[in-house]
Structure 1
Amino acid sequence: MKIRLLFLSFLFITTLFVNAQTLKKDIVSLDLKTQLEYCKVHTLNTLTALPNDGKSLPRSIPAKSKEWNYVDYKDWTSGFWPGQLWYVYETSHDKKILAAAEKYTNYLLPLTNTKAADHDLGFQVFNSFGNAYQLTGKKEYKEAVLRAADTLATLFNAKVGTIQSWPHAKYGGHNTIIDNMMNLEMLFWASKHGGNKKLYDIAVKHAETTMQNHFRPDCSAYHVVVYDPETGQKIKGVTAQGLSDDSMWARGQAWAIYGFTMVYRETGDRKFRDFAHKLARVYLDRLPKDMIPYWDFNDTDPQAPRDASAAAITASALLELATFTKDSKLKREYEEKAMKMITELTNHYQSRYENNALLLHSTGHKPAGSEIDCSMIYADYYYMECLARLEKLMWVKRFF
Structure 2
Amino acid sequence: MMKLLRFIFPLVFIAHIVFGIYWMAVFVGLIWLSFWVYTSKSKLLIKFRRLTYLVYPLVIIGAVFLAIFLRLFVFGIYVIPSSSMERTIFPGDVVWVNKLIYGPQAPKSVYEIPWLGVAYWLIKGKPASIGEAKWENYRFEGFGKPKVNDVMVFNHPYDNDVYIKRCLATPGDTFQIISGKTFVNSKLVADASGVIFYSQTVFNENLIASSLIDSLNLNIYRTKNPLAYDGHLTQRQMDYLTSLPGVVSSSINPMRPDTAFIVFPLHDSFNWNIDDFGPYVLPHKGMTIELTDSAKILYGRVITELENQSLDSSHYTFTNNYFFMMGDNRHDSGDSRYFGPVPENAITGKASFIMYREKSSKSFIGRWFLSFNQ
Please indicate, yes or no, whether the TM-score normalized by the shorter chain is above 0.5. Answer: no
Give TM-score scaled by structure 1 length. 0.21
The structure having more radius of gyration, on CA atoms, is 2
Greater per-residue strand proportion: 2
Give TM-score scaled by structure 2 length. 0.22
Greater per-residue helix proportion: 1
